[in-house]
Structure 1
Amino acid sequence: MTRHYKTPIFASLLLTVFTLFSGCQSPEDKASLVHVGQQVPAFTYTNAEGMEKSVSELKGQVVMVTFFATWCGPCLKELPHIQQDIFEKYQDNPNFTLLVIGREHSKEELAAFKVEKDFSLDFIADPERQVYAKFAEQFIPRNYLIDRDGKIIYSSTGFNEDEFNQLKKILEDQLKI
């Protein structure tokens, strides 16, 4: 004997569970426009030499994209780690590119910030959020690690030493391949 009355109850239960879990996303997750497993969105940027480049030109390399602002407290805690633990370690590695993008900052603002804070890594201006808008709606700092095929393999929002250590480990592993 078939009991058809259970099917609507089961479907209703599944819908309720799905609704509950979809509402449990953090604000950072809800503001994200790209996620691990997706291809990096297409964008262009102006490098330190003043040349316009496309992220697609970096295919074949491991790429780290970091979004920050000069006024952001967590960003100011993270940037020295990026310089010391990532930039200084991998700056000469031909299989790696670091893109540190100043959200809503001009080239001039970033140049002054670089001197003021004594950074040696290069900053990329994104004054109109044109690049940032392809990744998220809000919240910084944000880090994305992109593999040699252009796929996002790591993403984080905010600064947490444990998460940053995880990022460094994944980056190290990717560069061994």
Structure 2
Amino acid sequence: MKKIATFLFSLFITAHLFSQVENNYQFKVKVGDIAPDFEMSLPSGEKVKLSSLRGKVVMLQFTASWCGVCRKEMPHIESEIWQRHKDNPNFALYGIDREEPAETILKFAEATGVTYPIGLDPKAEIFSAYAEKEAGITRNIVIDKDGKIVMLTRLYKEEEFNKMVKLIDSLLAKK
């Protein structure tokens, strides 16, 4: 009886852990995949196509003005990543704001003190190429110089964020 109870408990815990990952992350992509290509507009009207950034280390940060976790994370992205690497020609960082107009994005960037570019994703089509459309917004994608996804994050966790910073540093140190 004890063995059956232990087995059922183990099965329950395993199922719970897998459902947590599924419910919390809901990515459509995984580490090792080539990042899905897209084109987005910046509030200035400038267009950015992901494939045109090949040869650079790219960080995509999915965000929205109503996202509290995004507001917490963005100043860290600004100071610990953008300010350190913005002048590096081998690095690109873009926030991607879903389903909000340019005016809202500009006010949001100003309120959070962010100076890195934030693009428009008016129908969440870019977001939906990377994650389930109704999934939580706060997430980052790190892409290497070959266009391959090397890290996916969800929510703001200091330890994971620090790993992402170190990964970006190491990718940029490679020749």
**Pairwise TM-score range, normalised by the shorter structure:** 0.7 to 0.9
Q: Which runs of 5+ in 1 are unaligned?
A: 1-16
Deviation at residue 78 of structure 1 after TM alignment: 0.2
Deviation at residue 74 of structure 1 after TM alignment: 1.0
Deviation at residue 28 of structure 1 after TM alignment: 2.6
Spell out the pairing of 1:11-30 with structure 2 (5 A cutoff). 24-25=18-19, 26=21, 27-29=23-25
**Which amino acid is the alignment partner of residue 24 of structure 1?**
F
Q: CA RMSD in A?
A: 1.8
CA distance in 2, matches of 1:98, 1:40: 14
CA distance in 1, matches of 2:158, 2:166: 12
CA distance in 2, matches of 1:99, 1:123: 5
Checking the alignment, whether the CA contact within 8 Å between 2:141 and 2:152 is kept in structure 1 is yes
Q: Does 1:91 align with 2:95?
A: no
In structure 2, relative to structure 1, the CA distance for the partners of 1:170 and 1:124 (3 Å cut) is same
In structure 2, relative to structure 1, the CA distance for the partners of 1:75 and 1:110 (3 Å cut) is same
Q: Percent identity?
A: 34
Q: What residue in structure 2 maps to residue 6 of structure 1? A: none
Q: Does 1:63 align with 2:58?
A: yes
Q: Does 1:72 align with 2:67?
A: yes
Q: Structure 1, residues 3-25: CA drift from partner, whole Å, max 9, x if none?
A: xxxxxxxxxxxxxx9xx669814
* TM, length-normalised to structure 1: 0.83
Deviation at residue 51 of structure 1 after TM alignment: 2.2
Deviation at residue 47 of structure 1 after TM alignment: 3.5
Deviation at residue 114 of structure 1 after TM alignment: 2.1
Q: What residue in structure 2 maps to residue 151 of structure 1? A: 148
CA distance in 2, matches of 1:32, 1:173: 24
* TM, length-normalised to structure 2: 0.84
Of residues 73, 96, 102, the one that matches 1:101 is 96
The structure number with the bigger radius of gyration is: 1
Runs of 4+ in 1 over 4 A off after TM superposition: 20-23
Q: What residue in structure 2 maps to residue 35 of structure 1? A: 30
Deviation at residue 130 of structure 1 after TM alignment: 1.4
CA distance in 2, matches of 1:142, 1:118: 19
CA distance in 2, matches of 1:95, 1:48: 23
Q: Which runs of 5+ in 2 are unaligned?
A: 1-10
